[in-house]
Structure formats: C-alpha cells, structure tokens
Amino acid sequence: MTEKRMSRWYFGGLASCGAACCTHPLDLVKVHLQTQQEVKKRMVGMAVHVVKNDGVLALYSGLSASLCRQITYSLTRFAIYETVRDMMGNTGKGPMPFYQKVLLGAFGGFTGGFVGTPSDLVNVRMQNDVKLPPEQRRNYKHAIDGLYRVFREEGVRRLFSGVSMASGRGALVTVGQLACYDQAKQLVLGTGVMGDNILTHFLSSFIAGGCATFLCQPLDVLKTRLMNSKGEYTGVMHCLRETAKLGPLAFYKGLVPAGIRLVPHTVLTFVFLEQLKKYFGIRIIS
C-alpha cells in the first residue's frame, strides 16, 4: 500500500496569503513603477522614495486589500484547478496532458480574475495612494472600507473596472503558475534524479514563476493603468493605444520588479502549499 496526500480546496488561498505577506513590498513598488507616466525612477529608487517620504510601513500600504484579493482570486483559481485535476487524476488514466492543464488553468484563472477584480482594484488604489498628494489620496482604512466606498461613491460598475484585463491576466498567470508548475514537477520527478521534496518544489515553482511573469506582464501593465485611472481612459482599447504611444517596452514597464515579486511569490506559494498538503492534506491510500 502507498499513501499520498491531496490538497484541500482552500489550501491554495491560504498559501497565497502567506506568500503575499512576504512579497507585498515588491508588489507595491511594481504598481508605483507601472503607474509612472514617464520613466523617472527604477525599482530601488522607487522603494527609497516611498520609505523616505512615508516611512517603512508605507511599503505595506494596502496589505489588507492584497490578502482580500488572494482570498477571492487565488482561492477560486486554485480550487477550480486542483479539484478538477485531482478528479481527473483519480480516473486511473495517469497525469493530465499539458494542453489540458493549460486549458484548465486558463479557465480557473479567468474565473478567479473575475471574482477578484473588486479587491484587486482596491489593492492597486491603496498601494498607489502613498505617492499621491495628500489632497488627492483616497485614504481607504482597509480593504472592506475601500470596497464599500467604491460601491457607494462610484457604483458597482466601477468595482469591476478593468475586469477584462484582470480576467485575462488571471488566465495567463494561472497557466504560467499552476499548469507550468505541475508540468515542471512532473518532468523533474520523471528524471528519477530528484524526489518529491522541497528542492523539487523550489525548482518547479521557480520555472513556473518565470513563465507567469513573461506571459502576464503586458496585461498587468494595462490592468494597473485602468484600475488607477481617474477618467483619462475611456476603455481597454483607449488605454492600449495610449500605452502603445510610449513604445513597445511600455508594456513591459516594471518587468524586473514584477519578476522579482512574482517569482518569489510563486515559489513561496507552492512551498507553503506543498507543506499544507503534506501535513494537513487528505490521505489517499492505494
């Protein structure tokens, strides 16, 4: 008899929250870089600017919204992907083909992106608030206050501003993270050189983080600009045209900090997830 552990549907959300607590300052710097109209500061310069003007704790501005986003967006996409994957894996036909993982990841990520759009909008606004003049700051107390105020002051449609970008990005990043992680882990274990241990989890998640960063960065830039706009963009296509005027590299603005944030976030998420699965997962004996 052999025993293995299966993930519970909410483990992905918990693991993502743990990773978000560690990588939030990098995410905040990435948002600041993406919302610059002109290239004025690099990653380190922007981080120093935030700390100098608003203190070290400003690097954690919007943490509550970031956690709220993980509970909605990441929990949804992980729950869909892992539940369907494990159900299909129990049919005895072996691991899913990569194309099926891609399709499943895209569906789960698109759904998660839709569900998480309101908290994502508040997350971007709270992170960007510290660099605005005091009279222009929205000053949300926390994520729930932000969601309520957007609903009350701007209407329910504003809560879903940039939903197409957020859903598209969710699909791409989930393909990069979950599908590529599963495939990379399968290939690594298939070599027989490494076992199912933390080193394998680290290597597989590092590869997945790089894939996710490359796939989602253009949409991430557009999503951030749309969510942080104050009426300067009439829609997705207008935002696309205005960003294109800055040159093709504008779609990869903040790529380095995005990778520096997303790759560690991906690594930490899967390391936490594998540990949750190992110690608290559902026992399967075959």
pLDDT of 222 reads 82
Domain span at residue 254 reads: 3-285
pLDDT tens digits, 72-114: 999 999 999 999 998 887 766 778 899 999 999 999 999 999 9
Averaged over successive runs of 10 residues, the pLDDT of the chain (286 residues) comes to: 80 95 84 67 78 83 88 95 86 82 96 93 82 82 91 91 85 95 94 91 95 86 76 81 84 76 92 94 79
Q: How does strand 3-6 pair with strand 282-285?
A: antiparallel
Query: pTM of the prediction?
Result: 0.82
For residue 51, give the CATH number of its domain: 1.50.40.10
| Partners of 5 in the β-ladder | 283
Number of domains in the chain: 1
Q: What does the pLDDT look like over 18-32, one tens digit per residue?
A: 999 998 888 888 777
Question: In the prediction, which pLDDT does 149 show?
Answer: 93
Residues 6+ positions from 264 with CB-CB distance below 8 Å? 19, 22, 23, 26, 209
Residue 36: the pLDDT is: 67
